[in-house]
Chain A
């Protein structure tokens, strides 16, 4: 099957406008009889479901949580980018587009990224209209801050809870449609199979997580907005329930999986404290606006941080990347931290951490405040007190969270941070219309691969999720559904639904009847360790090859020896986890295959065999300027399809932040 990305012709600035002007439409009367299924209710899913409901489609939305408001978009902290240029600092649609393509290390699709930058401003307008309380200046205008990999201030935020506020906005819009009857909400439901009829996606099999009952749902189209797959590493900043299952079922039904090896390892997370660790907590990238990252200049220095004088500290990001300093992109910051720790300069009891220090920011803000209040000859203590108040206003909730988790007060001692798995740029392959390689099956938000290339810039995930849901899919889906207006709702006693339900039932039966000796978590942790050690921040051919063998062996053991307590027809969280881990055990192998195939370094994917003399990622454009789209074949292997990336508006260059 050939890949057709359906990128409209014309200049990059006019592609989307032209597309919108000529795309097929569905008239309001026909919309009322067209049904759309939306899986996941994060920013992408909630915004899509709400908007499609507003347009008059009959929508069914599904989430595994007890309420759509709990989807993991809620945890995004720092902000959302938009090319508003409210700060008059030279921002524009082109510049946001350029930064995103460069930040993604030239492995994303230009046309999609340009569209993303184009609609970014509409998102902010829409959210403000919904009552999202973004941070404001005293004059009543919206406030902005900087994020990594960028030299303008284009990030809108709501303290350290931007994702929460945006999701609650989308959730409110969704609940409004539920009240109006255009959207029917199914919470505590998990999608376990895609139903295909005549090659098109026509519905799903979902499990009611409270009763265990399997349900059949028809849809003229199915939208997967089910998030990323970072939990394949067991430890990540994802929510405990975040999973690949919906995307993986789609993949096994013919949807190509693109660039699975592109994983974002976020540089500023709270380090692992012990074997009991169940997840990792991110400290927002916004902290790098004001915090300075350092390690001791001496190896294995066991002094307390405050006892190490300034001239014995190595502010290694400022040293290596003077132009961007502490605000280099995430992949660069993460590798630099790993490099220092591997070389023996790490701090804390595990030595797998670096310091994120607020002392100089506190002093700087304190002096500004003292000036503002006309306090002359302010004492050092006074300055520090004033500075801490400013820092508290900007980052208070993050500092509190750090203290609750570690028991240390970050106003007085530097935070210890270390990189952790945070986001997955890879995902289901989609064309310009966000349709996967299965007709009628779409993927939005983190679940697709399209906009972030090999590395996502901070504050761009929220932007993409909402762009896809509010402003892209409502147009592009019409192009497909306009040809479906004669398709009547297919009764769910159709053989395809019966077969799909039987296959789900059989799999669940098999799982629960293994009655082995080891818990689901045991296997998940083992998989996570293989992935982190061999397909994590640095990868090499030998490690990846052995990881593939280890994952296969682990998968075999899982299907022989996992123990799932309880029954099928009841609320059974262990059974839910088992299904998800079974899928991760397959995805892990594909990720390693993809990482092995991509014998270059780009963005978050660092192959040790491909680096510059200074240890920076070395891309190999001649050979690898393509999207790797994997097709699942014969129930056991994968075939690689290449979508070649052409860059007409951006000139390819070795990324430099020096």
Chain B
């Protein structure tokens, strides 16, 4: 693959800790190969900062294969940057032109307090799962895996919802900081499966309650979450969630 070197101006959010106000800092970076990933560019910059005796930029990352959901930069006004259906770690510098200015911020949401620089606290998402994002089956209780046939169509839809990586881009993209896409994906995964039926109604009510408690906003159907989701989770899951929730509430009241 042909590649070239880029010179870029980075404007990066620096914030010492959750109590600090934070500010943008500018960095000129040179010799950035178009074959590098976006995070490798940060590696290069951090190596330089360390050598200059400065504090490197803190950012979350782990697998660098687009699956763990740990990376989380808000790049030029978009979670995970310009490529559709791509996490920050899979974004490559081919996406940029020589001389570009790139603005990098952390996820911005009340429910995701900044820990340092570009690193935020997303444990609210774990607590939503704790409120009902599972099927209650203890180890050892299972019957044979082929005992219940599941139509391929349903299995595929369940899988499509289950591919959510829990990165929080949907929240960052949403002007209301709503976690509806995240939540709906988990609810839909189980709603399509026979195993998920027993707790179908309590699950959706408990998870929505927890989401509200965590301070995520409401969904106003702008569709930003779907547009920015690195795993292309469909907004139709939110429509399904609304239906699930309404039916469950009606049933609970009767």
Spell out A's residues near B (CB within 8 Å): 47, 50-51, 54, 65-70, 72, 74-75, 84, 86, 122, 124-131, 133-142, 158-159, 161, 164-165, 168, 171-173, 175-176, 178-179, 185, 187, 210, 237, 239-241, 273-274, 276-279, 281-282, 400-401, 404-408, 470-471, 474, 517, 519, 521, 563, 565-566, 570-571, 573-574
Partner of B135, one of A131, A277, A278, A519: A131
A565 & B54 in contact (Cβ 8 Å cutoff): yes
Indicate whether A404 sits within 8 Å of B139 (C-beta atoms), given known contacts A66-B70, A131-B190, A277-B40: no
Selected from B139, B144, B145, the residue in CB contact (under 8 A) with A54 is B139
Q: Does B39 reach chain A (CB closer than 8 Å)?
A: yes
Q: Tell me if B121 counts as interface (CB < 8 A to partner A).
A: yes
Residues in B neighbouring A241, C-beta threshold 8 A: 62
- A residues less than 8 Å from B196 (CB atoms): 131
Instruction: Choose from A66, A72, A281 the contact partner of B122 (Cβ within 8 Å).
Output: A66
Specify which chain A residues have a CB less than 8 angstroms from the CB of B35 in the assembled complex: 273-274, 276, 407
Task: Beyond A75-B67, A126-B139, list 5 extra A-B contacts (CB 8 Å).
Answer: A131-B135, A135-B159, A138-B151, A142-B145, A571-B119
Q: Which of B43-51, B173-181, B235-243 contacts its partner? A: B43-51
Closest to B190 in A: A131
Question: Which residues on B are within 8 Å of A, measured CB to CB?
Answer: 1, 3, 16-17, 33, 35-37, 39-40, 43-44, 47, 49-51, 53-56, 58, 60-70, 83, 85-86, 90-92, 94, 115-116, 119, 121-123, 125-126, 129-131, 133-146, 148-152, 155-156, 158-159, 162-163, 165-166, 189-190, 193, 195-196
Q: Say yes or no: A406-B142 contact (C-beta < 8 A), given A66-B70, A175-B126.
A: no
Q: Nearest Cβ in chain A — how far from B42, in angstroms?
A: 10
Residues in B with CB closer than 8 Å to A138 are 151-152
Structural contact, B68 and A70, CB atoms closer than 8 A: yes
Contacts of A168 in B (CB 8 A): 162
The distance from the CB of B49 to the nearest CB of chain A, in whole angstroms, is 8
- Minimum CB–CB distance for B51 against chain A, Å: 7
Task: Name the contact of B145 in the complex, choosing from A128, A179, A573 (C-beta under 8 A).
Answer: A128
| A67-B122, A70-B68, A129-B195 known; A172+B129 contact, CB < 8 A | yes
Chain B contact residues: over half helix, strand or loop, or mixed? loop
Contact A69 B166 (CB under 8 A): yes
Check B133 against A128 for contact (C-beta < 8 Å).
no
Please measure, in the bound complex, the distance between the C-alpha atom of A602 and the C-alpha atom of B116, giving whole angstroms: 47
Known: A168-B162, A407-B92. A125 touches B145 (CB 8 A): yes
For B130, give its contact among A178, A282, A400 (CB under 8 Å). A178
Contact of B63 among A66, A75, A471, A574 (CB under 8 A): A75
Alpha-carbon separation in the docked complex, A241 to B61 (Å): 8
- Contacting residue for A405 out of B47, B90, B115, B156, CB 8 A: B90
A400 to nearest B CB, angstroms? Answer: 8
The smallest C-beta distance from B244 to any residue of chain A, in angstroms, reads: 15
- Whether A276 contacts B40 by the Cβ 8 Å rule is yes
Give the docked Cα–Cα distance between A282 and B65 (Å).
Answer: 9
Residues of A contacting B189 with CB < 8 Å? 131, 133
Shortest CB distance A74–B (Å): 5
Q: A571 and B134: CB pair below 8 A?
A: no
Q: Which residue of chain B is the closest to A138 with respect to CB atoms?
A: B152
**Can you name 20 A-B pairs with beta carbons within 8 Å?**
A54-B139, A66-B123, A69-B69, A74-B63, A74-B69, A124-B145, A126-B140, A129-B141, A130-B137, A131-B190, A133-B189, A135-B155, A135-B159, A140-B151, A164-B67, A178-B130, A239-B68, A273-B1, A276-B43, A565-B56
Is A179 a contact of B137 with CB atoms below 8 Å?
no
Complex CA–CA separation, A289 to B64 (angstroms):
25
Q: B116 to A574, Cβ gap below 8 A?
A: no
The 4 A-B pairs with the shortest beta carbon distances in the complex, nearest first, are A140-B149, A172-B134, A129-B142, A125-B142
* Docked CA distance A606–B222 (Å): 58
A179, B86: Cα distance in complex, Å: 32
Name the residue on A nearest B146 (C-beta): A141
Chain A, Cβ-Cβ closest to B161: A133
- Distance, CA A140 to CA B62, complexed state (A): 36
Question: Residue of B at shortest CB range from A275?
Answer: B33
The smallest C-beta distance from B210 to any residue of chain A, in angstroms, reads 10
Interchain CB contact under 8 A, A175 and B133: yes
Contacts of A407 in B (CB 8 A): 1, 35, 92, 94
Residue in A47, A67, A141 whose beta carbon sits within 8 Å of that of B166 in the complex: A67
- Is B92's CB under 8 angstroms from A405's CB? yes
Cβ contacts under 8 Å, B137 to chain A: 126, 129-130, 173
> Once the chains bind, are B195 and A128 in contact (CB under 8 Å)?
yes
Given A66-B121, A274-B35; A131-B150 close (CB under 8 Å): no
Contact A133 B195 (CB under 8 A): no
Cβ 8 A contact of A130, one of B44, B134, B144: B134
- Given known pairs A74-B67, A565-B53, A565-B54, the reply for A471 and B129 (CB within 8 Å) is no
Residue of B nearest to A469 (CB): B139
**Complex contacts, B163 vs chain A, CB 8 Å:** 161, 164
Q: Which residues of A contact B33 (CB under 8 A)?
A: 273-274, 276
Quick one: closest A residue to B41, CB to CB? A276
Most A CB within 10 A of own CB, among B17, B125, B126, B190: B126
CA distance A72 to B3 in the complex (A): 30
Contact yes or no, B133 A172, CB < 8 A: yes
Residue numbers in B under 8 Å from A172 (CB-CB): 129, 133-135
Partner of B158, one of A86, A125, A133, A405: A133
